[in-house]
Structure 1
Amino acid sequence: MQQARVDQFLDHIKANIPLVNHMGLNSITFNGNSVAFHISLTPNLNDKGTGFGGSISAFCTLAGWALTTLALIDKDLERSAVVKTGNIEFFAPITEDFIVNCYSSEATGIEQLIEQVKSKGRGRLPIIAEIIQNEKIAVRYEGIYVAFEG
């Protein structure tokens, strides 16, 4: 998928989820198998001067939705997508601008999603979203997303 289409998707997010306009989401990249959100820390600070857990959780949840949606768009299979389950663990504080990297937790997860949608009209995608700082995982989110006609 061309970056221009991904940039249009970011514009769509900002137009339809107004809160995102205030959260420092600068850009999105998508390579067919993963999505990366590039985020400024400053609008996401807590009272301790580190990343606010609510913002971090929101970005991880949104990244999973974006991966599911972009993977379908990439194959001309636009569907509605929603989060079904999500669990987040915080291992270290976020102390600088950060990237949320999101990918399927199964090696063939995206391919399975595409096949399920083609054959049944709906499908599921298990994902992992991570934030790495100082060469260590600072945050890890695991979720399941579902896509359906609607």
Structure 2
Amino acid sequence: MPPVAAMQVGITGWDGECLRLSAPLAAHVNDKGCAFGGSLVSLATLAAWGLVTLQVEAAGFDADVFVAATEVRYRAPLFADLHVEARLEEGAGWQDFIDTLRTRGRASTWLVASLPLPEGGIATQARLRYAAILRTPVPAPGQAD
């Protein structure tokens, strides 16, 4: 997507449960010299989308992934490069999400994406609900392809 290229986003980590992205402050600086709020939530949204997409693909499915809801809290200005970590919300599980996607052809889950401050603490935190919808339905057991 052209906006993502303009954001200069890089993948800095992926361990199967958490996706980490980064972007330089210089590409997101506002008139106050800190990261623009729209950039912070955009990076959080992108990280959560990427995490769901990776999980869906790892399960062998071809699905469209959509953001369905976002709650964001801007806690402190960020005067440094942007780093985000996206993971499932506590108490949620990928297996339940994948099982629902397999049986119903669609599933949704809540994720949390956090952008830390360099000195500790959180600059911005987003809680995001994502939905995945299979492009090609999975045949029911016993049905021919």
TM-score by length of 1: 0.84
Q: Which residue number in structure 2 is paired with residue 97 of structure 1?
A: 81
Q: Which residue number in structure 2 is paired with residue 135 of structure 1?
A: 120
Q: How many residues are aligned here?
A: 134
Whole-Å separation in 2 of the counterparts to 1:115 and 1:43:
39
1:35 shift after superposition: 0.7
Question: Aligned to 2:21, which of 34, 37, 60?
Answer: 37
Structure label with greater radius of gyration: 2
Structure 2: 5+ residue stretches without partners: 136-145
Whole-Å separation in 2 of the counterparts to 1:99 and 1:109:
24
User: What is the identity percentage for the equivalent residue pairs of Structure 1 and Structure 2?
Assistant: 26
3-state DSSP of counterpart to 1:143: strand
**Is residue 69–residue 78 contact of structure 1 (8 Å, CA) maintained in 2?**
no
* Residues 1:149 and 2:129 are matched in the alignment: no
Give the residue type in structure 2 aligned to 1:143.
L
**Is residue 8–residue 23 contact of structure 2 (8 Å, CA) maintained in 1?**
yes
**Is residue 74–residue 124 contact of structure 2 (8 Å, CA) maintained in 1?**
yes
User: 1:70-109 alignment to 2 at 5 Å?
Assistant: 70-109=54-93
Give the residue type in structure 2 aligned to 1:137.
I
**Is residue 32–residue 74 contact of structure 1 (8 Å, CA) maintained in 2?**
no
Give the residue type in structure 2 aligned to 1:135.
G
Moved more, 37-46 or 19-28: 19-28
Structure 1: 5+ residue stretches without partners: 1-16
1:75 shift after superposition: 1.5
1:28 shift after superposition: 4.5
* More contact order relative to length (CA 8 Å, sep ≥ 6): 2
1:77 shift after superposition: 1.6
TM-score by length of 2: 0.87
Which 4+ runs in 1 deviate beyond 4 A? none
